């Protein structure tokens, strides 16, 4: 099965009490629900974390990202993931 890169259009909200980074989707469609638990990459296609949870309104949900240990995180980066 071939995987395609998808650029995530996200707005940074802040950090949760569980040290997850919380974003709000600026654009969303139902097909993006497949990204749940997927690995997140930065612009250099380096792994930075994974999607821990998707919650909130159906049209513009919140996305919780767990950053990998010892990984630098810049909320202004562009983020990508792969979908099947």
Q: Quick one: pLDDT band at residue 2, thresholds 50, 70, 90?
A: low
Q: With beta carbons less than 8 A apart as the criterion, state whether 10 and 63 touch.
A: yes
| pLDDT tens figures, 3-31 | 688 999 999 999 998 889 999 999 988 88
Task: Specify the higher pLDDT residue, 2 or 40.
Answer: 40
Q: Where are the domains of the chain?
A: 4-71
Q: How many CB atoms lie within 10 A of CB 82?
A: 15
> 4-71 has which CATH code?
2.40.10.230
- For the entire predicted model, the pTM comes to 0.87
Decide the pairing of beta strands 21-25 and 10-15: antiparallel
Q: How many CB atoms lie within 10 A of CB 63?
A: 26
Q: State mean pLDDT over 27-41.
A: 90
Q: What is the rounded distance in angstroms from the CA atom of residue 60 to the CA atom of residue 28?
A: 6
């Amino acid at each position: 099965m071939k995987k395609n890169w998808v650029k995530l259009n996200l707005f940074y909200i802040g950090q949760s009490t569980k040290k997850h980074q919380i974003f709000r989707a600026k654009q969303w469609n139902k097909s993006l629900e497949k990204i749940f638990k997927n690995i997140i990459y930065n612009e250099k296609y380096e792994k930075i974390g994974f999607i821990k949870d998707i919650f909130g309104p159906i049209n513009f949900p919140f996305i919780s990202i767990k950053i990998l240990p010892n990984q630098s995180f810049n909320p202004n980066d562009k983020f990508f993931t792969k979908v099947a």
